[in-house]
Each structure stands twice: as C-alpha cells, then as structure tokens.
Amino acid sequence: MLFLQWIFEMLIIGIETTCDETAVAFLSSPLKVLHHELYSQSGVHRAKNGVVPEVAARLHLSLLLPLFDRGLKAAQKELSSVEAIAVAQGPGLIGALLVGMSFAKTLALVLDRPLICVNHVEAHLYAALMNHGRTDIKQALGIVLSGGHTFFCLMHSVGDYTYLGETQDDAIGEAFDKVAIMLQLGYPGGALLEQLAHYGNEKRFSFKAGQIEPYHVSFSGLKTAVLYKIRDLEKKAPLSAQDRADLAASFQKAAFDVVCITIEKINSAHSLKALVLGGGVTANGYLQRLLKEKFGHTFKIYLPQPALATDNAVMIAGLGAWQFQKKGASSLESKANPNLRLEC
C-alpha cells in the first residue's frame, strides 16, 4: 500500500524532442499535470516549407535546459524531488531524438533515478485518454493522425495493441501541409487549410484518397490529383479565391472520408466500442464534426485537448508514469530509435 501511494504521488518528468517541438512536462501521477512547457519551431522552419532536421536538433539542444529550469520553478518543485524521467525514444528525427535521450539519460544518471523510454505514437493515444481522465480502455480502435503518422490499431488496453494498418506513403498531416503550400497558404498549413475550406464547396472537385487492403491508406495520389487540378485551372485563368477554397474543401473531405471508411471496415470485422484518436490532425474541427455525425451514436469517441493534440511532453510523462507502474524502468543503455514501432 505504501508503495502504491508513493507511485501515485511521484514527480515524473516528460521530455519530447521527436521533431520540431521542444517540450518538458511535470506530472504527479499518470493523469495529473503540474506544469508543462513547449516551444514550437514551426516559425523557424516556415521559410523552408518543412522541418530541417539539423536545425531542429540544434534548437532542441539550446532550448531544452532553459525550458526544463523554467518548468521546474513553475511546478514549484526541487530537482531532488524527481522520481523518474520519461522520454520519447522514437519514432522521429534521429538528431532530435538524440538530444532528448541524452538529456534524459544525464538526468537519470546524475539524480540516480529511473529512465522510462516511451513510444511517441503510443503517447498520442494516451493523450486522448488523459483528456477523459481514464486509462481503462477496452475494445477500442486507436488512430494516430499527425504530420508524421497515420496509424490504425486495436486497443485491447493501454499497452496491449494489435496492428491493423497505416499510410503507405505520406502521413495525413504531411499531405495537408503540402496541399496548403500548393494553395499558397504557407507552412505549417493544416489549420490554415481548414480555415480556407470553411468557405469552399467540398463537392466541386471529386478527389479520393487511396485504400489498400486490408486497412492501409494512401495520400500521395490525392495530393497529386490536387496539384494536377490546380494546373488545369491555371491554364484558363489564375486561381480565384473561390477556386482555392473549393480545392481546400474538396481535398479535406477526401482525406477524412478515407479515414471514416477505414473505421467502418475495421468495425465490421471487430465490433468496436470506442475510438481513441491522437495527433495534431485530430484538432481539425471538420474531422471532429464528421466523427460525431458518423460514429457518435455508436462509439465513445476519445480526443485529446486541442493544446495536447500536437507533440507535447505531457503525453510522454503521462504514458511514462503508467508504464513505470506496470513495467518498471528502461535500461540506461536504451538508444534513440527513429523507426520505433508500436509493440503489437
């Protein structure tokens, strides 16, 4: 009993540096957040219309310690009170991951505290459960929709998954960003494309994303179809504001239609009870309305807080705390893994 009480009152640190967000978080239990800090590098990478890995790694290196110091003070905790350090081990950019892993290992060694290596994709799913204050999920479909991932798995419980499918090329968030650039919205463009699509006719252009049996998807062809349609329109006249809005709306509809079709196919085979969604694309209001309209009467739908939909350290610390209770610590010999897969 005393051990369990100590576990639930521990101070756990989360560290996230998988791509272009530098983040730290301080939690006192798997579901209770004391404080978190996040710096998005998107403004730095905007000029290149995408993340520059070397630049991202250097920024993580310069930002991580100041963010950690500021967060520790805001959480009103002493360094000596830290009980464990959770860190995103992968998947992600290798240089960025190395910065976070090195920082976490150093803390673990200096403080003589456990290191907990966390799967970044799994943490996105955990973020949705945190938003609803529960981890006792069963017979659910886990879906990660982000700039780097489009992934479907059965969730028998936290930590127990069956792989179903994923994108075979571009992630859905990556496709949003690339189409946004085509429409001259800039980078990152997901939220801007959603705003533009609000004024468009989603039925004007008949786009489709790819479906690959059994539960894989493809967005490369959809992206190319939008590019060709833009070129066709520009042969007649420069794109009008309405053209751009209609293209955005038609693309958005096609991208999310294939997600919904995949959900329906999986449900037919597995009789789902819930949907658990994570990743930055889940903040899209059109997607949320579509999910509620199509599945709200059938499934409980778990979504993360909008602020915790994109990469953050809260989800790393939360899953790390849960993982520590169930599985214990990771080895200090653990290495960053840019291609880390969800254990299924």
Instruction: Name the helix (H) or strand (E) containing 327.
Output: helix 314-327
Asked whether residue 190 is marked as a ligand-binding residue, the answer is yes
Asked whether residue 243 is marked as a ligand-binding residue, the answer is no
Instruction: Write the CB contacts of 283 (distance below 8 Å, at least 6 apart in sequence).
Output: 191, 306, 309, 310
Asked whether residue 258 is marked as a ligand-binding residue, the answer is no
- Whether the CB-CB separation of 36 and 26 falls below 8 Å is answered with yes
Asked whether residue 232 is marked as a ligand-binding residue, the answer is no
Asked whether residue 93 is marked as a ligand-binding residue, the answer is no
Q: Is 43 exposed, middle or buried (0-12, 13-18, 19+ CB in 10 A)?
A: exposed
Asked whether residue 201 is marked as a ligand-binding residue, the answer is no
Asked whether residue 271 is marked as a ligand-binding residue, the answer is no
Nearest alpha-carbon partner for 21 in 82, 63, 49, 70: 63
Asked whether residue 279 is marked as a ligand-binding residue, the answer is no
Asked whether residue 29 is marked as a ligand-binding residue, the answer is no
Asked whether residue 147 is marked as a ligand-binding residue, the answer is yes
Asked whether residue 297 is marked as a ligand-binding residue, the answer is no
Dihedral over alpha carbons 227, 232, 233, 234 (to 10 degrees) = 90
Beta-sheet pairing, 216-218 with 274-278: unpaired
Q: Return the bridge partners of 86, or none.
A: 14, 116
Binding residues for Fe cation are 120, 124, 311
Binding residues for substrate are 144-148, 177, 190, 194, 284
Binding residues are 120, 124, 144-148, 177, 190, 194, 284, 311
